[in-house]
Amino acid sequence: MRIALGVEYDGTDFHGWQRQRTGRTVQGCLEEALSRVADHELAAVCAGRTDTGVHAVEQVVHIDTTAVRDDKAWIRGGNANLPADIRIQWARETDDTFHARFSAHRRHYRYVIFNRPYPSAQFRHRACWVYTELDEASMRQAAINLLGEHDFTSFRALACQAKHPVRTIYTLDVNRHGDFIYIDVVANAFLHHMVRCIAGVLITTGRGEASPEWVKQVLDARDRAAGGITAPAAGLYLVAVHYPERFAIPRSGWLPEYGR
């Protein structure tokens, strides 16, 4: 039996999603909690592996189990055995053709920038603080250069293990609400650090240190060294994963929004 689950977590105190020999991970905590509910050892597969410090509003996960439990048992039992910084939001039985990672056709990340001269105690793990005033109009103009299918070598970590660097970005929006700037990226898939590299380049243009056209030069260079800084993990959220309608995967329907 295959069970799909929607999982929310605060990534601040985790060494990312993936289970490791040492260090606290989301996968390790989730597998331990759900194995107690199932009364046998389980492996959890996710839609997208998040790095240390990265958050998820809705990470989609699947498990295979011989245990017969109703949806509420997976939710309530799982949450009862999870730490407070991970919560299961929904659970449902699905067929074996569903795969949390390979069935997904789009993923949506939001990067949150806190833009004012002085830092915040409240948002130090929830947003990237930039003290110089950013021009969101320049950032928005720069973002247009990254829409569509491209080789994103300049926007991937040097340690990225993806087989190829070609990805398709369907949406790349930049919007300001008060002291907060939101970068929303929807793509078919992402490379390691891809959103954080995009955020770093857009911050550079927002500071006036480079023109919006410079982003196209970075893209065409196909060289990570051309891309400048990688923005901090604290501002990054996985907010939605899109699947074919036949799987009837629920959606949480909310985004991290501050300053409204």
115, 133 contact by CB (below 8 A):
yes
Helix (H) or strand (E) holding 206, with range, is helix 194-206
The partner residues of 242 in beta bridges, in order of sequence, read 106
Selected catalytic residue, list 51, 135, 151, 179: 51
Tokens at residue 155, please? 């926007």
How many beta carbons lie within 10 A of that of residue 162, not counting itself?
A: 15
d(CA 21, CA 28): 10
How many beta carbons lie within 10 A of that of residue 239, not counting itself?
A: 22
d(CA 149, CA 98): 26
d(CA 216, CA 227): 10
Give 210's DSSP letter: S
SS3 at position 180: strand
Residue 215's nearest CA partner among 135, 144, 134 is 144
**51 carries an active-site annotation:** yes
Which residue numbers are catalytic?
A: 51
